[in-house]
């Protein structure tokens, strides 16, 4: 059975039910029920036309639910057997779904869960596994999100920026359970890029492709973190890099710069360098300057300080770091790195150990502890 096809069809079928008069919450439930039935029935009895099958079954589920729910007001539903909408309408429906699932009234966690279910076609169980929470908890999160958005008209125009933030969150969650969230985020961003002509959608897609290309090199065989400078660049996926750069260049020619394009440009400069030494740090600093201008984000300033350290020497990097709040995440790690490059292993070792204590995840903590240990071992000799 083709699960990928099933998932691709999900937003389309929700859109069709919406056009027939079902509200979003009911349509989404009905389609989820139809997906579960498809998983059960298709392996033995594959349909000739999967989309029509899903529409028919989901519509039946919707009518069953509407009839069963006698306490609710009589629903106005249009007649059955209406022709399926054309390709343009389908694209519009899908785009509207993205907007709805990323609605500003939702918390980020709710928007992520709803997007993965309604646009991504994942089951509640799969989403729960990916985020390491009980299935019942995730089910509640999704139904609360649907209640929150119940007053939103389906055809209300939305803001692409909110959708991009949700997709960025999904991508950053990475990989746990049997669903590869990074790959799923790329699929959803590709689909969005195909339905809307927006330079920042392209920018985010390029950013994801360029980072995903480096994933095979980012962890060692024992699961340890491998920093960019030490990665085996022959493991980078050149096909994804080429695609990412093409998508980015097409976006940049429109001359409407945004933060995702700028981040993608930095990723592209790293991907372009065959060795760490060949990296064009001067240009990377220029892109960080653009990013600071666009976002004024302290984390961006921290990354910029590290890039300055590469472009203009560790003293310049430390000077750029000195004006930032030491409580920023990864401040100690950045300082440790720059102090080591500046020839001060004692300070660097102390800062690496400090950074390890406040590391937000285990691979990073192990990596930072190892860095402290490496310097301490050198100092003992």
Partner 1 sequence: MAKYLLLKHYRGAPASVNDVPMDQWTPEEISAHVQYMQDFADRLEGTGEFVDSQALSPEGTFVRYDGEGRPPVTDGPFAETKDLIAGWMVIDVETYERALELAGELSAAPGAGGKPIHEWLEVRPFLVAPPTITE
- List contacts with partner 1 (CB under 8 A): 222-224, 349, 352-353, 356-360, 362, 365-366, 369-370, 372-374, 376-377
Q: Cβ closer to partner 1: 248 or 333? A: 333
In whole angstroms, how close is the CB of 365 to partner 1 at the nearest point?
Answer: 8
Q: Cβ closer to partner 1: 79 or 327? A: 327
Burial 128-162 (b: 16+ CB within 10 A, else e): bbbbeeeeeebbebbeebbebbeebebeeebebeb
In whole angstroms, how close is the CB of 124 to partner 1 at the nearest point?
Answer: 21
Q: Cβ closer to partner 1: 140 or 369? A: 369
Question: 130: closest CA among 109, 161, 147, 105?
Answer: 109
What is the C-alpha separation between 164 and 160, in angstroms, rounded? 6
What is the C-alpha separation between 265 and 248, in angstroms, rounded? 7
Structure tokens given for 38: 């498809």
What is the C-alpha separation between 210 and 237, in angstroms, rounded? 9
Contact at 8 Å (CB) between 338 and 324?
no
In whole angstroms, how close is the CB of 174 to partner 1 at the nearest point?
Answer: 17
The alpha-helical segments, DSSP class H, found in the chain are: 3-19, 24-41, 50-68, 87-101, 108-114, 124-130, 135-148, 160-173, 181-195, 199-213, 215-218, 238-252, 259-272, 281-295, 298-312, 314-322, 331-341, 345-357, 362-380
In whole angstroms, how close is the CB of 198 to partner 1 at the nearest point?
Answer: 38
Question: 101: closest CA among 159, 62, 44, 60?
Answer: 159
User: In this structure, what is the dihedral angle of CA atoms 255, 170, 95, 296, given to the nearest 10 degrees?
Assistant: -30
Q: Cβ closer to partner 1: 274 or 381? A: 381
In whole angstroms, how close is the CB of 171 to partner 1 at the nearest point?
Answer: 24
> Torsions phi, psi of 175, nearest 5?
-145, 115
In whole angstroms, how close is the CB of 349 to partner 1 at the nearest point?
Answer: 7
Q: Cβ closer to partner 1: 19 or 370? A: 370
In whole angstroms, how close is the CB of 175 to partner 1 at the nearest point?
Answer: 17
| C-alpha torsion sign, points 165, 167, 168, 172 | positive
Q: Cβ closer to partner 1: 21 or 363? A: 363
SS3 27: helix
In whole angstroms, how close is the CB of 154 to partner 1 at the nearest point?
Answer: 40
In whole angstroms, how close is the CB of 353 to partner 1 at the nearest point?
Answer: 4
Q: Cβ closer to partner 1: 318 or 349? A: 349
Q: Cβ closer to partner 1: 68 or 327? A: 327
Q: Cβ closer to partner 1: 311 or 375? A: 375
């Amino acid at each position: 059975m083709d699960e990928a096809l099933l998932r691709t069809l999900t937003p389309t079928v929700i859109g069709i039910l919406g056009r027939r008069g079902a509200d979003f919450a009911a349509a989404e439930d009905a389609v989820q029920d139809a997906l579960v039935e498809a998983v059960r029935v298709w392996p033995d009895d594959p349909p000739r036309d999967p989309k029509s099958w899903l529409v028919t079954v989901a519509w039946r589920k919707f009518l069953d639910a509407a009839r069963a729910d006698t306490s609710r007001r009589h629903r106005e539903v249009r007649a059955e057997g209406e022709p399926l909408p054309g390709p343009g309408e389908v694209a519009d429906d899908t785009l509207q779904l993205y907007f709805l699932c990323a609605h500003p009234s939702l918390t980020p966690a709710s928007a992520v869960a709803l997007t993965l279910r309604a646009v991504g076609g994942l089951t509640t169980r799969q989403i729960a596994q990916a985020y390491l929470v009980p299935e019942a908890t995730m089910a509640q999160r999704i139904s609360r999100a649907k209640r929150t958005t119940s007053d939103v008209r389906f055809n209300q125009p939305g803001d692409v920026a909110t959708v991009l933030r949700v997709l960025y969150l999904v991508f950053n969650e990475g990989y746990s359970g049997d669903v590869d969230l990074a790959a799923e985020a790329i699929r959803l961003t590709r689909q969005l890029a195909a339905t809307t002509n927006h330079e920042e959608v392209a920018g985010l897609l390029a950013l994801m492709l360029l980072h995903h290309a480096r994933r095979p090199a980012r962890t060692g065989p024992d699961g340890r973190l491998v920093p960019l400078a030490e990665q085996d660049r022959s493991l980078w996926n050149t096909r994804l890099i080429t695609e990412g750069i093409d998508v980015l260049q097409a976006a940049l020619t429109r001359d409407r710069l945004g933060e995702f394009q700028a981040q993608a440009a930095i990723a592209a400069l790293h991907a372009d360098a065959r060795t760490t030494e060949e990296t064009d740090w001067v240009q990377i600093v220029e892109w960080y300057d653009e990013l600071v201008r666009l976002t004024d984000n302290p984390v961006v300033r921290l990354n910029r300080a590290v890039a300055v350290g590469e472009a203009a020497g560790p003293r310049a990097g430390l000077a750029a770091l000195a004006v930032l709040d030491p409580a920023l995440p990864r401040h100690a790690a950045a300082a440790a790195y720059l102090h080591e490059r500046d020839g001060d292993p004692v300070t660097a070792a102390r800062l690496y150990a400090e950074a390890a204590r406040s590391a937000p995840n285990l691979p990073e903590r192990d990596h930072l502890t190892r860095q402290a240990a490496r310097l301490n071992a050198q100092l003992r000799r």
